[in-house]
Amino acid sequence: MTPNNTTQQIISISSGKGGVGKTSFSINLATALATKSYRVLLIDGDLGLANVDVMLGLNVKHTLRETVEEGKDPMGILVEIMPGFFVLPASSGVPEMANLSYEEQALLVDSLERIVHNFDFVLVDTAAGIGESVLWFNNWAKKNITVLSPDPTAMTDAYALIKIMKTRYNKKDFNLLINNVKNKKEAKEVFDNMSTVLEKFLGIKPCFQGAIPQDTAVSQAVRSQKPFFIAKPKARASMAVMEICNKILA
């Protein structure tokens, strides 16, 4: 297993609010990177309420729970979705996994650190909210993508998450992805509003990571449990993901 890129990236994808499109975006970004021949690992960071496996229609046998509880090597629980795209599944309905102790967290980090060199990109689709695992994954990642929609509560929750990441870990670099927008104008408005608030109250100047339009291809793909990037490559959402993917590679 040799990744073809020496500039490896660990990217967390989070939002504060749930239902804004993190999992859908993570899966399709991973797919886009894999079609460009990169080796991508997508970690389901929603440790207690996994979603990635459901959205991909996987029948998962092993999960990160075994890494935490039994010390199982994460390489042994990977699922290959397509050439180059691997998923590290989490468990669902396991409250203990959503509230790991400090020792368990350390063990998980340690196990993940030992496998990341096998990949060009490691994406973490985090849980909603501002729980410990969300904060920890965001701190572990070298780059943070915060997903938000034009919904005001998505904006306030994204702000809350960014504020905690700054005050607790002194993180200053944040990349905003505006999802579910009517058009580019709306995406720009949301980004500008968020930017103004972040700069005024936290002294943070976020980067614009891109925007994904509201597109029925996204909801259809969720229902058919296939990435829209594959099912509908010409859909507006797929074009947008390709643009974001190229920006990440630039």
Residues that bind ligand ADP (CB under 6 A): 15, 18-24, 51, 128, 179-180, 212, 214-215, 218-219, 222, 237
Nearer to Mg ion, 161 or 198 (CB): 161
Nearer to Mg ion, 120 or 129 (CB): 129
Q: What does 12 interact with, of Mg ion, ligand ADP, none (CB < 5 to 8 A by kind)? A: none
Alpha carbon distances (Å) from 143 to 52, 138, 139, 159: 20, 8, 9, 17
Q: Verify binding: residue 23, Mg ion, rule CB under 5 A.
A: yes
Nearer to ligand ADP, 22 or 226 (CB): 22
Residues 238, 244, 249, 250, CA torsion sign: positive
Minimal distance, residue 24 CB to ligand ADP, in Å: 3
- Using CA atoms, how far apart are residues 77 and 244, in angstroms rounded to an integer? 29
Q: What does 238 interact with, of ligand ADP, Mg ion, none (CB < 5 to 8 A by kind)? A: none
- Using CA atoms, how far apart are residues 235 and 188, in angstroms rounded to an integer? 21
Nearer to ligand ADP, 24 or 146 (CB): 24
Alpha helices by DSSP H, 145-235: 152-169, 184-202, 216-224, 228-231
Minimal distance, residue 188 CB to ligand ADP, in Å: 16
Q: What dihedral angle (degrees, nearest 10) is formed by the CA atoms of 111, 77, 12, 47? A: -90
Q: Would you tell me which residues interact with Mg ion (CB under 5 A)? A: 22-23, 51
